[in-house]
A = this chain, B = another copy of it.
Amino acid sequence: MNPERIQFQKYEDKVISAHQAAAFFKDKMVVGSSGFTKAGDSKAVLPAFALRAEHEDIGITLITGASLGHTTDADLARTNALYKRMPFQVDPVMRGKINNGEILFIDQHLSETAELLENKHLAQLDFAIIEATYIDTNGHIIPTTSVGNSATFAHLANKIIIEINTSIPFEFKGIHDIFIPTHYPNRDVINITASDDRIGSDVIRIDPDKVVGIVFTEIPDSPAQTTAPDAKTTAIANHLLAFFEKEIQSGRLTKSLMPLQAGIGKVANAVLSGLAKGDFENLVMYSEVLQDSTFELMDTGKMTFASASSITVSESCYQHLLNNFDQYKDKIVLRPQNISNSAEVIRRLGIIGINTAIEFDIYGNVNSTHISGTKMMNGIGGSGDFARNAYLSIFVTQSASKDGNAISHVLPMVSHTDHTEHDVDILVTEQGLADLRGLAPRERAKVIIENCAHPEYREQLQDYYNRASERGGHTPHILEEAFNFHTRYLETGTMKQNCLATYEG
C-alpha cells in the first residue's frame, strides 16, 4: 500500500501483482486497455498476460486507445495471446500475424471505438486496464500520459484493474479533461469552441466496486523514435510552409493559421519544426498526439496551447517535461480520443490536418494503411477523423522510395482507399504541392502528376492518364492496367516501365 498513490481507503487490500491480475482473464474475454501511441499503456498486466499465454492455450480480444509501447504487442502476438485486436497497432511482429490471418485486426477510426462500445456494436468489455498516476480520495483515477479510450473502458467494463505508475509525477493531475457524451437518445453537445476549452472532469470517475486489482509499476513510456529532418522531409515541409504563407497573403489565413493536427512521423515533425522558423504567431494544436515539436514551438513562444489525447515524445523531451512540468501544465490538455478526434469539434474549430499517406493516386484518393492493397501497415488511426472534417486536409509522402526509386508513391489508382478524393485538399511530396481545391478529377490529375510525382514516373503516369482519358469517363481509368505499377513491382522489383515506347508507338 502506498497512501500517496492510493488515497482511497476501500482499495487498501486491492494491491496485487501483475501476474495475479493477468490470471483474472479467461479465454475469449474482451479487455480494454489504456495506451495511445505508446503513451500511458499497460506496462505490467498485459506483458504478464503474454507470459501466461506462452504456456497456456488462452486468448483475448484486446481493444486499446491506439498503439502500445515497449514490446507488448509483439509479445502478445508471439505468444498467441490475442484473437482479435483493435483499433490500431504499429508492431512488426503483430503486423506479421495480422497479415497471415492469425490475429483478426479491426482497423477503426480512432474516434469510433468508444462510440461502437457505447452503442453495444462491439462485445461487452469484461475487463478494463487503466494506467494511473494515482487514485484520489473518491477512488477516481488520475490518468498518466494519455487518455485514449480509458474513460469509456472504465465506464463500460465489468471489472477494472488499475496500474499505478509511480514514475509519473503528481503534477499530472489537472491536465486531463474527461468528458463522455451521455447516452442516446439525448446526447450532449460536445461544447468545445476553442482548443483550450475544458468541458469535463480532471479525473476518470469509476465505480469502486468494479476495481478488482491495483498493480504498481515504475516503467516509463517507450520513447518516440525521432529522426532528424532530411532533404526530403525538409523539402516537403518547405512546400507546405510556402503554401501557408501564400494563404496568409491571400487573406484566407492569419499568422495564427488554424488549430493544427499532425500525425506522428518525421514529415509532420519537420513541418511543425518549420513553423518555429516562419513568421507565425499564437499557434494552437487540436490534435491526437503532442510530440517533441509541440513543446519546441511552445519554447519559442509560437504556440500558446495544445490539446490532444496523449504525450508521445523522445526520451530527452520526456525527461525535460517531467522535470519542468509546471512550465507546460497550463498550456496542454489531454482528452478522450473520441473528443480529440470528434468530427463535431474538428469541423467547428476548422482544423488544418496533416497526415502521412502510403500512396496516393492521380485523382487524389489516399491509401494510409495497406501495402500493395493487401498487407496492413499500422491502421487508419485518426487520419480519417481529421481529413473528413478538416478546414484543410493535407496528405504528405515522398514521391518515390527504395533503391533506384523502385516504388512510386503517386499511382494511377491506389491499391486500397482510406480517404476518398472528396476528403483530400492538398497533396505534398518533396517534388511539390498539389492544391486540389475546386478541381475536377481531370484537373486534379494534371497538377498531381506535374507537381507531386517523381520525375522518373511522370511520363508513365501521364501516358496512363492520356490513354485512359481517351476512353472517357469522369475519373478516367483503364481497369486492366490500373494496378500495373504495383504488379510490376511485385514481379520485377521496380514500378518502372522499360518499354513505354511500345505503348506510345
Please list the residues of chain A having a beta carbon within 8 angstroms of any beta carbon in chain B.
84, 98-101, 104-109, 112, 115-116, 119-123, 181, 184-189, 191, 193-194, 252, 258, 342-344, 347-350, 365, 370, 372-376, 380, 384, 388-389, 391, 413, 415-418, 420, 422, 425, 437-440, 442-443, 468-469, 471-477, 479-480, 482-483, 486-487, 490
A349 to B344, CA, bound (A): 12
Q: Using Cβ atoms and an 8 Å threshold, which residues of chain B touch A194?
A: 185-186
A417 to B421, CA, bound (A): 9
User: B425–A348 contact, CB under 8 A?
Assistant: no
Partner of A425, one of B121, B123, B469: B121
CB-defined A-B contacts under 8 Å, sample of 15: A105-B440, A107-B422, A112-B422, A119-B252, A119-B350, A123-B438, A184-B391, A185-B258, A370-B473, A374-B473, A374-B475, A376-B473, A380-B422, A384-B388, A388-B388
Q: Using Cβ atoms and an 8 Å threshold, which residues of chain B touch A486?
A: 479
With A472-B375, A473-B374, A474-B105 known as contacts, the answer to whether A438 contacts B184 (CB < 8 A) is no
| Copies of this chain in its oligomeric complex | 2
With A252-B120, A343-B388 known as contacts, the answer to whether A439 contacts B474 (CB < 8 A) is no
Q: Which residue of B lies closest to A187 (CB)?
A: B348
With A468-B374, A475-B370 known as contacts, the answer to whether A184 contacts B350 (CB < 8 A) is yes
A418 to B189, CA, bound (A): 28
User: B376–A474 contact, CB under 8 A?
Assistant: yes
A166 to B146, CA, bound (A): 60
Q: Using Cβ atoms and an 8 Å threshold, which residues of chain B touch A115?
A: 347
A115 to B425, CA, bound (A): 13
A23 to B144, CA, bound (A): 66
In the complex, which of the residues A365, A384, A389 has the most CB atoms of chain B within 10 Å of its own CB atom? A389
Q: Using Cβ atoms and an 8 Å threshold, which residues of chain B touch A189?
A: 189, 191, 193, 348
Nearest CB of chain B from residue A222's CB, rounded to whole Å: 24
User: A373–B477 contact, CB under 8 A?
Assistant: yes
Nearest CB of chain B from residue A481's CB, rounded to whole Å: 10
Q: Using Cβ atoms and an 8 Å threshold, which residues of chain B touch A365?
A: 417
User: B442–A104 contact, CB under 8 A?
Assistant: yes
User: B442–A184 contact, CB under 8 A?
Assistant: no
User: B101–A469 contact, CB under 8 A?
Assistant: yes
A344 to B472, CA, bound (A): 38
Nearest CB of chain B from residue A248's CB, rounded to whole Å: 13
Q: Using Cβ atoms and an 8 Å threshold, which residues of chain B touch A349?
A: 185, 187
Given A121-B425, A343-B389, A344-B347, 11 more pairs with CB closer than 8 A: A107-B422, A108-B422, A120-B252, A121-B252, A189-B191, A373-B473, A374-B472, A380-B422, A384-B420, A480-B483, A482-B483
Q: Which residue of B lies closest to A183 (CB)?
A: B350
Q: Which residue of B lies closest to A121 (CB)?
A: B437
A126 to B26, CA, bound (A): 67
User: A350–B187 contact, CB under 8 A?
Assistant: yes
Q: Which residue of B lies closest to A181 (CB)?
A: B348
With A186-B193, A189-B193, A422-B108 known as contacts, the answer to whether A480 contacts B487 (CB < 8 A) is yes
Q: Using Cβ atoms and an 8 Å threshold, which residues of chain B touch A344?
A: 343-344, 347-348
Q: Using Cβ atoms and an 8 Å threshold, which residues of chain B touch A472?
A: 99-101, 374-375
With A120-B252, A121-B425, A185-B350 known as contacts, the answer to whether A372 contacts B101 (CB < 8 A) is no
Q: Using Cβ atoms and an 8 Å threshold, which residues of chain B touch A490?
A: 479
A60 to B98, CA, bound (A): 51
A343 to B416, CA, bound (A): 24
Q: Using Cβ atoms and an 8 Å threshold, which residues of chain B touch A469?
A: 101
